[in-house]
Structure 1
Amino acid sequence: MSSITALTLDKEDLRTDFYRLAFINILSNLLVPLSGFLSVAFLGHLGEIHYLAGVTLSTILFNYLYRTLGFLRMSTTAITAQAVGSDDETLMWLTGLRNALLAFVIGIILLILHQPLGHIGFALLSATPDVKEAGIAYYNARIWGAPATLLNFVFLGWFLGRGQSGKVFWMSLVGNGVNIFLDYLLIIRWNWASTGAGFATSISQYIMLLVGFVFILQELELSKFRAILSQIWVSSNWKETLILNRDIFIRSFAFLSTFSLFTNLSSAMGTMTLTENALLLQVITLTVYLVDGLAYATESMAGMFKGKGAYEQLYPLLQISAQTSLMIGISFAVACLLFPDSLLGILTNHSEILECLHPYLPWLLPVLGFGSLAFMLDGYFLGLAEGAILRNTALVATLAGFVPIAMIAWQLQSCYLLWLALSLFMIVRVTLLGIQVPKTLKSTPII
């Protein structure tokens, strides 16, 4: 199934296998923000900044529609990895099949309901009319990729759970490569602005899905597949799948509500504040995608160790992952503090925006420092399929760590307090997750 199941207890072997897996994951993940960076850059260099602001606003809706459904990827990785660790090939395939079916059904429902969902979503968001118009155009174009996007979640999660990061890399390379090409063609050459950015993303998701299908067909044995398919409707297994998906959904909903509220409050403080914070969020997004490469490796290996019953390997895995994640988070924050105009100038040529960004750059240190550890720990607990821990931690971090200060920031129209709220969110997350770690290091499962 996967060479990762052959890991020994030697820490150097563990480190080698971890970095090998993480390196490919990081390469794959880098393609996603690279595509996003170029899309932002294309929009940021247009004559009017409301196109960039509109896409940023519309992204709030897609965060809810797609990222809250990220449980399709996360639960697939966790259960698949544990199946690989326990050499249960039937469970491995059933996990992919069940979540793929769930993803397809949800994707079709999103298409059917996209108009009322969009109407409600934009009615709740604060922005000037021209920003909303640009955001709606982006939304109406991108939503057609919903079924492919959700199925890609499952495909990526299934390959990650099996330690097949190479296939994830090729899916990401092709999908994001197409997205970059279409961004340039539709935004710059054809001048479709935010509509072009939406269609570029939508079409690229279907191309990415096609690559995933090709990989699966290469190893699919029809005789085994028919036998496994007959077990897909076993109710007890569906119950376990849905409970884990529910917990991860709540976790993702709380997490994304924090960033969505951050963006919406930024918008309420004016288009300039929204645009400034959107650029800094791009830096955070890039860092998170890098750290997620480590988190995915941690997730896959933790799940396999649990499947094998090798709980003694979890602590050295955490050490390696935590040290590397923290180094990445701090390095990106420091780089932006030292070279702000050079790095952020890639995203926009509006000098007035760059000048206003400087006072807020120090907030990247706590957000990325604590955030890098929090995202890594998310991957760790996902691999162990500890959905309840992730759910409860996210809810407390949002409701107690972020919301109170964010509300004060809104009342005082203070962007500084808004960044403080986001910093506290990260600090609470990493603290609460860290408290739970010792329980997982025992020789028996914590379930």
Structure 2
Amino acid sequence: MIISNIAAPMLGLVDTAIIGHLPDAIYLSAVAIGAMAINFVYLLAVFLRMATTGITAQAFGAQDTPRQQRGFVQGLAVALVLGVVMLAMQPLILWLLWQLVEATPELQQLATDYISIRLYGAPAALAVLVILGVLLGRQQAKAAMVLVVLTNAVNVILDVVLVIGLDLNVRGAAWASVCAEWVTAIAGLYWVTRSLGLKLRTLPRLQRHEFSALLGMNRDIFIRSLVLQLCMAMMTAYASYYGPTTVAANAVLLQFLMLISLGLDGIAYASEALVGQAKGQRDGHSMQRWFKLCLFWSGLFATLYALIFALFGHSIIGLITNIPEVRERAGEFLPWLIVLPLVAHWSYLFDGIYIGLSQSKAMRDSMLLSALLGFIPAWWLSLSWQNHGLWFALCVFMVSRGAWQWWLLHRRRMLSIAT
């Protein structure tokens, strides 16, 4: 599950690392802003994977193959429609971005090129979310891992060819990611249809009540993801007021957050599949046992991350970029990244538990409370700290998420089989 979670972060990490070794920091800033916009749009659609995982895991536990098939077809239909809509909304996305982000004309043009190209991969990227949801819900982690290896192999090879070999800089990085997304989508569709025994001439008939339930979950998780991504986008968007070097430094350090997600979200994915299967089997004892085990491993991984960042943080920054001013600025804010895994691991795990239980409303409520009573007040009170204030607000936000999720989990007795 941990290796399976590497796809999206590694695409951004490889692009950032290769662009970070070009001679001018403006290329790294352009990829940082462009990737922020693309990730914001794509991660708003993360409900596709989350809802599909929860539905599939419970159907898998109940040994209900037709329900798994319907969940996959429903999710795929929504993904493809949304992908086309995102591509058509390119002018609006760019307009909104430049209302929020301060950039020089040259930086704006480079970031616009990156975003315009990456959106051609939107239908494929969203389809991959549904595919991963099915594979993780069915506990086919090895299949998901193979797709991840394929994604990153294509991306790395094309990054080297297009960025370094053909000197296409930002545009080359974007095209490499688009090709990787489409190759992965095609391979994943083949794998899932075979695994579920689906054939084009015998596609399952969609049931209105199931589709309505799916849309309801999607709505709640969309609101949750929107609030989360607005808070995360602040780390790049508001940093633009402190200069291109600070934007580039935050882009480098946000890759640390992606590295954290490789382990912590991997454990959360495991909890989605295991808790969801136990709920499908109506086994309350197993639900609680998986929760305690995953909590132990989440805390252990968080501690290891903090130690690694404390000992090797500056070396990791050097691997991502060799631009002296960016490395120096990123080093100023590194202490926040040492603290972050320790205060954030609760929220990663609880997201997985909530998905396995299909408790999308509780996910939505806890995120809204964390943003309104955590991130926004912390950021406002620390404005004088400039970029340090942004990182402080992010840490407070993560603490708030874990606290509200824990409270709702116990108040609503979600791990009781009666719910």
TM superposition score normalised by structure 2: 0.95
Letter matched to residue 440 of structure 1 = M
Match of 2:81 among 87, 105, 108: 105
Separation in structure 1 between the aligned mates of residue 196 and residue 64 of structure 2, nearest angstrom:
16
**Residue 191 (str. 1) matches residue 167 (str. 2):** yes
The residue that corresponds to 1:241 in the other structure is: 214
Q: Deviations over 1:316-362 (max 9, x none)?
A: 21222122122222322222222233221101112232233333222
Q: Give the Cα separation in 1 of the matches to 2:177 and 2:136.
A: 22
Contact 2:57 2:274 in 1 (8 A): yes
- Matched position secondary structure for 2:46: helix
**Aligned residue among 58, 72, 76 for 2:48:** 72
Question: How far apart, in 2, do the equivalents of 1:359 and 1:271 lie?
Answer: 15
Q: 2:152 aligned with 1:176, yes or no?
A: yes
**Relative to 1, partners in 2 of residues 1:222 and 1:75: Cα closer, same or farther, differing over 3 Å?**
closer
**Preserved CA contact (<8 Å) 2:65 2:196:** no
Counterpart of 1:433 in structure 2 is 405
Which of 295, 309, 334 does residue 282 from structure 2 map onto? 309
Question: Is 1:324 paired with 2:324?
Answer: no
Separation (CA, whole Å) in 2 of partners of 1:251 and 1:222: 32
Query: Which deviates more, 250-259 or 351-360?
Result: 351-360
Question: For the structure 1 residues 269 and 312, does the alpha-carbon distance in structure 2 shift closer, same or farther, using more than 3 Å as the test?
Answer: same
Q: Residue 367 of structure 1 aligns with which residue? A: 340
Alpha-carbon distance, 1:222 to partner: 5.8
Counterpart-to-counterpart distance in 1, 2:210 and 2:7: 35
Matched length: 417
Offset, 1:375: 0.6
Kept in 1: contact 2:135–2:192 (CA 8 A): no
Shift of 1:381: 0.6
The match for 2:67 among 67, 91, 94 is: 91
The match for 1:254 is: 227
Partner of 2:351: 378
Percent of pairs with identical residues:
29
2:365 aligned with 1:398: no
1:12-67 residue CA offsets vs partner (Å, 9 max, x unmatched): xxxxxxxxxxxxx2122235434432221111111111111111112222123210
Task: Letter of the 2:151 partner, please give it.
Answer: G
1:32·1:176 contact (CA, 8 Å) conserved in 2?
no
1:355 matched to 2:328? The reply is: yes
Contact 1:269-1:413 at 8 Å conserved across structures: no
Q: Does the 8 Å CA contact 1:141/1:195 hold for their aligned counterparts?
A: yes
Secondary structure of 1:191's aligned partner: coil
Return the match for 1:423 from 395, 405, 415.
Answer: 395
1:414 aligned to 377, 383, 386, which one? 386
Matches within 5 A, 1:150-165: 150-165=126-141
**Do 2:275 and 2:287's aligned partners in 1 also have CA atoms closer than 8 Å?**
yes
Pair 32,67 (structure 1): closer, same or farther in 2 beyond 3 Å: closer
Q: Which residue number in structure 2 is paired with residue 205 of structure 1?
A: 181
307-316 or 121-130, larger mean C-alpha shift: 121-130
Does structure 2 conserve the Cα–Cα contact (< 8 Å) formed by 1:81 and 1:300? yes
From 257, 275, 284, the counterpart of 2:257:
284
Shift of 1:151: 0.7
RMSD across aligned positions (CA)? 1.8
Give, in angstroms, the shift of residue 166 of structure 1. 1.3
Does the 8 A contact of 1:54 with 1:131 survive in 2?
A: yes
Q: Is contact 1:82–1:303 with CA below 8 Å preserved after alignment?
A: yes
Q: Letter of the aligned partner of 1:396 in structure 2?
A: L
Query: In the TM superposition, what whole-angstrom CA distance separates every residue of 1:180-206 from its partner, at most 9, and x where no partner exists?
Result: 111111111111111111111111111
Q: Of residues 57, 75, 84 in structure 2, which corresponds to 1:81?
A: 57
TM-score w.r.t. the length of structure 1 is 0.89
